[in-house]
Structure 1
């Protein structure tokens, strides 16, 4: 069932608590809730009170409810001498899935990339997330097997 009431827009500070709830739900879904350290206040300060913000966010709004979110940040310097975008989080509330909200959020991100002269949008997908991989492939995204991701955890 298609919901014609969905509006995709940039998140504002008043959305912080609702965006945080979706971030928490994503952490549960992707199985990293045990290390999830984000709070609604961190979302508010990092995303809306800092200049420039640590991240940017689009939300899918259904009346007064946030149905989905897409969190991203800019990569200002790349080998192509053009900025890029790194999509950190894409999540649609379970009760809103199947309504093309994820595609709408990705389409808005693609427009944002073009407006900002970005050469690429990059992101990672958990290897077990088959539905996510199929979704991105339907959009025309290609898996990049040329690089292996590494992490170096730094403890204080």
Structure 2
């Protein structure tokens, strides 16, 4: 099912299992832009399991004149302070030749409408510190950087090592 937008010939739709190849392609294009392509280990099979079987996240695809030109992958988190779910945007990517046409704003405004419809208290995402074009765009959209917070991560062997501590 397509969702019409204010941009002529641009429509949105929620991804389906058959879109796993396309989603992986977008993920790799985004990773290349972020200079992190060597970090991508996901596969079509993993995406199918995670997105469409376990439903751990959702994907919206934007098409211009029938051609897929962008995607957004998001999921829900929960704020104990607000007592409400939040919408967390993991990835937003617009193909370079389509940037500057208002597509990013449409994608963010659509996700904001999803958040409001689902009674989310927040809509959040991370942005790499060096990504000035995106930072400027987010500021233009009135998004506020959470300067008082630092992101922490455990992954790989460190994650498994901490998990083993529980098993002792």
Could you say what secondary structure the match of 1:83 adopts? strand
- Within the alignment, does 1:124 sit opposite 2:126 as a pair? yes
Are the equivalent residues in 2 in contact too, given 1:10–1:57 (CA < 8 A)?
yes
Q: Which runs of 5+ in 1 are unaligned?
A: none
**2-side partners of 1:126 and 1:36: how far apart?**
16
Task: Please identify runs of 4+ aligned residues in structure 1 that moved more than 4 A.
Answer: none
Measure the CA separation in 1 of the matches of 2:156 and 2:58. Answer: 25
Distance 1:112 1:80, change over 3 A: same
Q: Which residue of structure 1 aligns with residue 89 of structure 2?
A: 87
Relative contact order: is structure 1 or structure 2 higher (C-alpha 8 Å, sep ≥ 6)?
A: 1
1:140 to 142, 159, 164: 142
Is 1:24 aligned with 2:35? no
Match of 1:33 in 2: 37
How many residue pairs get matched? 153
Cα separation, 1, equivalents of 2:147 and 2:140: 18
Using the TM superposition, give the Cα deviation of residue 32 of structure 1 relative to its aligned residue in structure 2, in angstroms: 1.6
Tell me how far 1:60 sits from its aligned partner.
Answer: 0.5
Alpha-carbon deviations, 1:82-127, whole Å to 9, x = none? 1101110000011211111111110110011011110101111000
1:46 Cα deviation after fit: 1.3
CA contact 1:8–1:104 (8 Å) conserved in 2 = no
- In the alignment, the residues of structure 2 paired with residue 132 and residue 104 of structure 1 have an alpha-carbon distance, to the nearest angstrom, of 15
Tell me the TM-score normalized by structure 2: 0.85
Structure 2 regions of 5+ residues with no counterpart?
Answer: 1-5, 161-168
Aligned to 1:152: 154
1:7 & 1:143 partners in 2: Cα distance?
29
Task: Normalising by structure 1, report the TM-score.
Answer: 0.91
1:77 to partner: Cα distance: 4.4
